[in-house]
């Protein structure tokens, strides 16, 4: 059983749910505007790109970027497009992680993965295109010339986060890891593989708001705690969840003999550390000018999410 | 036999050869500075990145970018790093094209391909990292703030050139093509797969020189002819060359039943069109302010190259 069940939904949770639903709808229509139509040449490629992009993702990274920008005073309309750039980059990482040479995953969010649906070559190239287009969107948006140096700073932060010593490095280390690995190895992998892009999403939001160094450092701190919390919750969901909610086979990680938080810490200790990390993230967010806007409640959402 | 043999080397060719050798040496040391050390975490990934990057490439794209920038008055020292960003992007495309799911190539420039040497997962991720780092270099360099909007323009041009309707689209179309395809299909594939990045390299050089629209259009025109010439020469080399010079099995394209220029036009007609395209590129370059600097002789090099 999970620490909180859907039957205990509070008013605050309802408000968060409404906020998330509204943001997701905005992000989905913006993504639709940003990405080439399915009928564009070559069609198979564009069908594959859109198949993975509109597969029911939570849109957590763009939502965190938007919430950070909003909390620090940036106009949300300016930040919507580049926030979607982060989702394109995240989607690329899922498509490539699922490939036969990597996790060899048949299902993602309850549907066949890209390589199962379109073949391996097209899945690799759709991932390449999602990465290229994600960084292109970060270079193009927001369009106003006053954002030129902010955009270059965001590209610097994001490419470091997802590069050979960030997300890609974490994926290599994850593939090489064994269930016998310890806490230090596990933390290093997930800090790189999941944590870095979540941190970069929050810092990017601050950069679009022209936030001072101190606020950027606090966003980074908040993102570090939140990224770890997100991964612990993911591992716990994998152990606890019902396949119908999760959209993939539960227990997939232990079946594949992956190094996970419940495997290293046990379930109870994993839950405790999850709660601690969310408290850290909330307290970093509350320390931002204006109390961090929606960020504290988004941190609590990461702890309580059921899928 | 090829239209010109190495024994007919002229003084002009010697001067071009010396220029190319000098630029290659500069590019190789800059790439070495830009890319993380082999000992960086995770080591396998960084070994794979450097293995493909330092495999004896011609460095044609960065050389074209540098030559265009120089011809239009940009300081070469400022352009060296971003020109290397284009080589990182080009190297990513080679690593992914060679994968088992794509061309399944065992050799590249006489050595085992990345996936043969490091396994498929690491090869895919090394390609991802080369793409990410290539675009990161374009966002970071040149470092001076006066280049901010030029860098964003270059990122726009390059990501369109290599995106889902450019290089990646061309690769998808190439994989789906059959030897029965016609001239129109072949031209569309290579315009996207090879031509676009060569065009973007020349235009990027012009952008770093703050060249006027008319000069950028002429660079694009020169790149369009040169990109096609480059691919025709590549196909001819595949038919004509000696394995020892080329570093891969000659005739590989026809063995794989690929759609090629000699297959569609025949060898003699391919040579004629190659010469025409090089003449077009030379004439576009000569029309640039200052006569295009080294660009006309680089166009002739594309026609005459033996590997």
Could you list the mean pLDDT of each consecutive 10-residue stretch along chain B, which spans 307 residues? Answer: 49 85 98 97 97 96 98 97 98 98 95 98 98 98 97 98 98 88 91 97 98 98 97 92 56 64 93 97 96 96 89
User: How many CB atoms are located within 10 Å of the residue A14 CB?
Assistant: 10
pLDDT of residue B6: 45
CB contacts of B125 in chain A (<8 Å) are 96, 168, 171-172
The answer to whether B242 contacts chain A (CB < 8 Å) is: no
Task: Give the pLDDT mean for A28-57.
Answer: 97
Task: Give the pLDDT mean for A43-57.
Answer: 97
Question: What is the fold, at CATH topology level, of the domain defined by A25-304?
Answer: Farnesyl Diphosphate Synthase (1.10.600)
The answer to whether B164 contacts chain A (CB < 8 Å) is: yes
pLDDT tens digit sequence for A203-243: 999 999 999 999 999 999 999 999 999 999 999 998 887 55
CB pairs under 8 A between A and B: 150
pLDDT of residue B2: 42
Q: Which of B121, B122, B152 is the closest to A139 by Cβ? A: B152
CB contacts of B173 in chain A (<8 Å) are 41-42
Q: How far apart are CA B41 and CA A120, in angstroms?
A: 28
Alpha-carbon distance B105 to nearest alpha carbon in chain A (angstroms):
14
> Are the Cβ atoms of A169 and B131 closer than 8 angstroms?
no
CB contacts of A41 in chain B (<8 Å) are 165, 169, 173, 188
Q: How far apart are CA A232 and CA B121, in angstroms?
A: 25
Confidence of residue A5 (pLDDT cuts 50, 70, 90): very low
Q: Where are the domains of chain B?
A: 6-304
Confidence check: pLDDT of A123 > 50 = yes
A38 class by beta-carbon count within 10 Å (0-12 exposed, 13-18 middle, 19+ buried): middle
Confidence check: pLDDT of A145 > 50 = yes
CB contacts of A188 in chain B (<8 Å) are 41
Q: How many residues does chain B have?
A: 307
**CATH architecture label of B6-304:** Orthogonal Bundle (1.10)
CB contacts of B169 in chain A (<8 Å) are 41-42, 45
Q: How far apart are CA A95 and CA A214, in angstroms?
A: 35
pLDDT of residue A3: 43
Q: How far apart are CA A204 and CA A194, in angstroms?
A: 16
The answer to whether A104 contacts chain B (CB < 8 Å) is: no
pLDDT of residue A307: 80
Task: Give the pLDDT mean for A106-113.
Answer: 95
pLDDT of residue A1: 38
Look at residues B230, B220, B213 and name the one whose alpha carbon lies nearest to residue B284. Answer: B220
Q: How far apart are CA B132 and CA A157, in angstroms?
A: 12
B281 class by beta-carbon count within 10 Å (0-12 exposed, 13-18 middle, 19+ buried): buried
Confidence check: pLDDT of A11 > 90 = no
Alpha-carbon distance B156 to nearest alpha carbon in chain A (angstroms):
6
Alpha-carbon distance A127 to nearest alpha carbon in chain B (angstroms):
9
Q: What tokens were used for A11?
A: 């008013």
Q: Which of B121, B145, B169 is the closest to A175 by Cβ? A: B121
Q: What tokens were used for A129?
A: 């295109």
The answer to whether B169 contacts chain A (CB < 8 Å) is: yes
Partners of B107 in the beta sheet? Answer: B112
Looking at per-residue confidence, does A59 or A109 come out higher? A59
Q: How many residues does chain A have?
A: 307
The SS3 assignment for B282 reads helix
pLDDT of residue A252: 56
> Are the Cβ atoms of B168 and A129 closer than 8 angstroms?
yes
**CA end-to-end span of chain A:** 14
A120-140 and B76-97 are packed helices; what angle lies between their axes, rounded to 10 degrees?
A: 160
The answer to whether B58 contacts chain A (CB < 8 Å) is: no
User: How many CB atoms are located within 10 Å of the residue A208 CB?
Assistant: 28
**ipTM passes above 0.90:** yes
Look at residues A6, A60, A24 and name the one whose alpha carbon lies nearest to residue A295. Answer: A60
> Are the Cβ atoms of B132 and A168 closer than 8 angstroms?
yes
């Amino acid at each position: 059983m999970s620490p909180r069940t859907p039957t205990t939904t509070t008013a605050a949770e309802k408000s968060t749910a409404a906020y998330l639903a509204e943001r997701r709808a905005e992000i989905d229509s913006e993504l639709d505007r940003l990405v080439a139509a399915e009928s564009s040449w070559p069609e198979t490629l564009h069908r594959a790109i859109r198949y993975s992009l509109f597969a029911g993702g939570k849109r957590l990274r763009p939502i965190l970027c938007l919430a950070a920008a909003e909390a620090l005073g940036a106009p949300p309309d300016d930040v919507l497009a580049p926030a979607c750039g982060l989702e394109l980059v995240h989607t690329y990482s899922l498509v490539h992680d699922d490939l036969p040479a990597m996790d060899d995953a048949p299902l993602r969010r309850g549907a066949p993965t890209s390589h199962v649906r379109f073949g391996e070559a097209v899945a690799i190239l759709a991932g390449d295109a999602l990465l290229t287009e994600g960084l292109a969107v970060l270079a193009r948006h927001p369009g106003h010339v006053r954002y030129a140096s902010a955009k270059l700073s965001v590209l610097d932060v994001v490419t470091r986060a997802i590069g050979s010593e960030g997300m890609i490095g974490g994926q290599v280390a994850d593939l090489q890891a064994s269930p016998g690995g310890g806490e230090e190895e596990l933390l290093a992998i997930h800090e790189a593989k999941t944590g870095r892009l979540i941190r970069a999403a929050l810092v990017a939001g601050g950069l679009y708001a022209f936030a001072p160094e101190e606020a950027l450092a606090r966003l980074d701190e908040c993102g570090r705690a939140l990224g770890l919390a997100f991964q612990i919750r993911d591992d716990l969901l994998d152990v606890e969840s019902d396949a119908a909610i999760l959209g993939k086979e539960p227990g997939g990680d232990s079946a594949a003999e992956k190094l996970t938080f419940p495997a290293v810490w046990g379930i109870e200790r994993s839950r405790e550390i999850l709660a601690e990390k969310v408290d850290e993230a909330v307290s970093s967010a509350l320390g931002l000018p204006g109390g961090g806007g929606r960020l504290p409640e988004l941190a609590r959402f990461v702890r309580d999410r059921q899928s």
